[in-house]
Amino acid sequence: MELPISDSIIIAVSKLVDDAQVEPKREPTHSELEVQIKKAGLTQADPKSQGQSVGKAKRVRATLNWAIENDPSAGSKLISLVVSQVRAVGGFRDTSPNFVGKEQILNTISVFDAENFSLSENGDIRPKVLDTLKGKHLTEALQAYAQRAKRGSEDAALLSGTGKDLLEATAKHIIQTKFGAHPANANFPTLFGQAYAALNMATPETPKAANEPAIKDYERALFHMATGINRVRNKEETGHGKLCITALSTKESHSIIESVGVIAEFLLNRLNESS
């Protein structure tokens, strides 16, 4: 997934590592930033590599300013690496000694939002418009949404607003990847059945073969769960754009979202294995 790079994003991301006025100094350290800069292939743009003594924020900003003019793709990679590194050391967690600050996080959320990317307060970043992604990049984005859904995050995906949409998006992506096109107006069970067929998985309608692997029963169970989730959401009239199932309890709603993540992740892993 290639993140956008712009002047406002460069400033916001550099502030995530700014600890000039903080004691003790926060992670990531200069050496950790050096590793990320090297991974992005931007060592030549790193002021430290040129013998300059600069703070972490200025170091990241200077490197990205060079990248935006000379190698935007590498700059995008560095932005992703820096955000991931900050998240890994607890920079987005307010109880961590490495917490970067509420204002910095909200500002970064705002600048990514302007570029049609969603940055959560815990540091997960995803494109808001998945229609612009294809192939491997769409697989990765859907896997990330599945991970968030597994944690019960209602903002997870919920793509157009509901967990059902994540399952639909996953099914359509699998069919598109395997068959080159997906049906535009198929109902959910049909769509999901086609995704299962594309992955050679067993639905409840698939006759049980002698000595078949036990995992086939699990595949059938996941299909039952997916169509059950679809029925619950339709019955409760959860429309697009809503992040909860109003007629269900919070625990029930979170359980459904977590189940959506489990199902989507299982199917996407199968897609990767079959590629």
| pLDDT tens sequence across 122-146 | 898 877 766 667 788 788 878 877 8
φ, ψ for residue 235 (rounded to 5)?
-65, -40
CB-count exposure of residue 57 (10 Å: 0-12, 13-18, 19+): middle
Here the tokens at position 167 are 């399952």
Q: Identify which has the larger pLDDT, 121 or 42.
A: 42
pLDDT above 90: percentage of residues in the chain: 56
Q: Identify which has the larger pLDDT, 116 or 170.
A: 170
Sign of CA dihedral 229, 230, 236, 241: positive
Domain assignments of the chain as residue spans, ordered by start: 7-128, 159-274
The predicted pLDDT at position 113 comes to 84
The predicted pLDDT at position 242 comes to 41
Which residues touch 245 (CB under 8 Å, ≥6 apart)?
A: 232, 233, 236, 238, 252, 253, 256
Peptide bond between residue 28 and the one before it cis (omega within 30 degrees of 0): yes
The predicted pLDDT at position 129 comes to 64
Q: What is the pTM of this model?
A: 0.59
d(CA 191, CA 201): 14
The predicted pLDDT at position 131 comes to 66
The predicted pLDDT at position 23 comes to 84
The predicted pLDDT at position 252 comes to 80
Here the tokens at position 194 are 């086609």
User: In this model, does residue 11 exceed pLDDT 80?
Assistant: yes
pLDDT in tens, 58-91: 999 999 999 999 999 999 999 999 999 999 999 9
The predicted pLDDT at position 160 comes to 33
Torsion of CA 246, 247, 249, 250, to 10 degrees: -10
d(CA 66, CA 223): 50
φ, ψ for residue 14 (rounded to 5)?
-65, -30
d(CA 195, CA 263): 12
User: In this model, does residue 202 exceed pLDDT 70?
Assistant: yes
pLDDT in tens, 212-271: 999 999 999 999 999 998 888 766 444 443 434 456 677 787 788 889 889 999 999 999
The residue-averaged pLDDT of 84-111 equals: 95
User: In this model, does residue 101 exceed pLDDT 50?
Assistant: yes
At which residue do the structure tokens 């697989």 appear?
Answer: 139
Q: List the one residue out of 56, 84, 80 whose CA is nearest residue 67.
A: 80
The predicted pLDDT at position 152 comes to 63
pLDDT in tens, 136-177: 878 887 887 787 777 665 444 343 344 557 898 899 999 999
Q: List the one residue out of 268, 272, 245 whose CA is nearest residue 158.
A: 245
Helices 7-15 and 72-88: crossing angle, nearest 10°? 30
C-alpha distances (whole Å) from 139 to each of 2, 124, 145, 160, 173 are 13, 16, 10, 17, 8
With contact defined as beta carbons under 8 Å apart, do 170 and 264 qualify? yes
